[in-house]
Amino acid sequence: MRLIILTSLLLASGLHAACAASLQITTEHSPPSSMLGTDGVVTGRTTDKIREMMVRTGTDYKLELLPWKRAFMQAQTQRHTCVYSTSRTPEREALFKWVGPTDEAEWQFWGRADHSFPLNTLDDARKLRIGTAIGDARDEYLRSRGFNVDAVSNDLVNPQKLLLNRIDLWAVAIRNGGAAPGPFDWTDKVVPLMVFNRVKVYLACNPSVPDELIDKLNAALADMRRDGTLTRLDRKYDHYGK
């Protein structure tokens, strides 16, 4: 009997420790969703939602701003690591455990303001050269469908490539209410042309994160949606970049 009780206590202790494990959370610079504040602390609309979820569930965490490829790779390969804002696509479904959605986004084609080709449907872009970022969901989406993609490590190289006529289109993700990607030295020269997909974005967690913690985080997010916290945090950034 003592052995059974001891085993049960050890199992319960192990589960509690797993659920209480500190999360390493990564993200990219993507205003107003995630960005470095003037005080050196990562802030932003989705960042505030993530922090609130951690507080409500009593989860210890560290949050780091990284280049997207590195942030995404760490969540795939390192235990107890999560990354946001991650588009939930069929290709990624089995790679992570998912908390969300935390937001929605439009995938848009941007091009030169003086472009001469027609662009009314996604298929119109099939013969065009499309600038993407390595490891990005838009790159995966277009590449898997046979589009002519030209991926770079730094997505903000793409507007310059447009101006040099090295690509015809740039695949951009704009969060709901988000500002145009910066910097803005090409304003009015590179413009949005068409929305080609709409996605929901999530906190994507390494499979090592316990299911119980994932459930708690999703429950906290649902409570935040019901009590108006998500709406309040969204409105906090309504005028960002305007």
Interval 100-116: pLDDT, tens: 999 999 999 999 999 99
Which residues lie below 8 Å from residue 200, measured CB to CB, with a gap of 6+? 87, 88, 100, 101, 103, 104, 105
Do 61 and 22 touch, CB atoms closer than 8 A? Answer: yes
Do strands 81-87 and 23-27 pair parallel, antiparallel, or not at all (unpaired)?
parallel
**Each residue of 167-181: pLDDT tens digit?**
999 999 987 766 667
| pTM (2 d.p.) | 0.82
For the cut 90, the answer to whether the pLDDT of residue 82 exceeds it is: yes
For the cut 70, the answer to whether the pLDDT of residue 11 exceeds it is: no
Do 66 and 26 touch, CB atoms closer than 8 A? Answer: yes
Do 80 and 240 touch, CB atoms closer than 8 A? Answer: no
Tokens of 58: 């009593």
Reported as a pLDDT band with limits 50, 70 and 90, residue 158 is: very high
- Phi, psi (5° rounding) for residue 116? -115, -5
For the cut 70, the answer to whether the pLDDT of residue 182 exceeds it is: no
The mean predicted confidence, pLDDT, of the chain is 89
Residue 74: its pLDDT value, please? 98
Do strands 97-112 and 190-205 pair parallel, antiparallel, or not at all (unpaired)?
antiparallel
